[in-house]
Each structure stands twice: as structure tokens, then as C-alpha cells.
């Protein structure tokens, strides 16, 4: 990565607070159910649905819907593309922090 970080270097899809929380949670868990994420992050159904759709459209997460017994169950997991994007995002933030500490 270059020495000079530009605003465009920060992934806007991940940078939004709720989406960053979702990606961070999925980065440390192989998969999480909709209810687990909702509870863990203190989100409403609509908020989690909207942000997970944005992440899914970017190819960063996979959302799988199924049934457990007769109840619908939605599970999410990070894709390889999403993991790489998250790692790049963290590397960019580290570069910003390191640059700030060296001045």
C-alpha cells in the first residue's frame, strides 16, 4: 500500500458503522444466525436486513435462508472476497494510525 492514504482508499461499504460491526463479527465466527447478529449488535430487523443486503450485493457476505423445523432461519457468513476486503480495510486503518503516530 502506498505511503499516502486517500479518502477513497477506505472501503465505503465496510466503513459504515453497522456494516463494520457485521463484518467484524463474521470475521471471528464462521457463520452467525440473523437473530444472533441482531442481538449481539443491538439492531432492529430492518436495520440488519438493509445493511446485510448491501454487504451481500457487494459480494462480502453470503446470506442463506432455510428452515429449522418449521421456523425460518437466516444465516450469514463472510465470503473470501469479504475477508480480503476487511483485511484491506484494517491495513488501511493501520497505515493511517501509523502515519499519525510518526508525525
Question: Can you give the CATH number for the domain in which 72 is found?
Answer: 1.10.10.10
In a domain, 2, yes or no: no
Q: Rounded CA gap, 96 and 74, in Å? A: 36
Model confidence pLDDT, tens digit, residues 54-91: 999 999 999 999 999 999 999 999 999 999 999 999 99
Does residue 103 form part of some domain? Answer: no
Q: Is 33 contained in some domain?
A: yes
Task: Give residue 29's domain range.
Answer: 11-93
pTM: 0.89
Q: Is residue 1 part of a domain?
A: no
Scanning the chain, the segments in alpha helix (DSSP H) are 12-15, 17-28, 34-41, 45-57, 80-101
The number of domains in the chain is 1
CA dist list (Å): 77 to 4, 5, 13, 22, 29: 32, 29, 16, 10, 8
Q: Is 100 inside any structural domain?
A: no
**Distance separating alpha carbons of residues 11 and 20, to the nearest angstrom:** 10
59 lies in some domain? yes
Q: Which three cell numbers stand for residue 65?
A: 435462508
Amino acid at each position: 500500500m502506498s505511503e499516502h492514504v486517500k479518502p477513497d482508499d477506505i472501503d465505503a461499504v465496510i466503513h459504515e458503522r453497522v456494516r463494520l460491526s457485521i463484518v467484524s463479527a463474521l470475521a471471528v465466527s464462521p457463520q452467525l444466525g440473523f437473530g444472533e447478529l441482531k442481538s449481539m449488535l443491538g439492531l432492529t430487523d430492518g436495520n440488519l436486513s438493509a445493511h446485510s443486503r448491501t454487504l451481500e450485493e457487494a459480494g462480502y457476505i453470503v446470506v442463506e435462508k432455510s428452515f429449522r423445523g418449521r421456523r425460518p432461519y437466516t444465516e450469514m457468513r463472510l465470503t473470501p472476497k469479504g475477508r480480503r476486503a476487511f483485511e484491506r480495510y484494517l491495513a488501511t486503518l493501520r497505515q493511517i494510525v501509523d502515519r499519525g503516530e510518526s508525525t
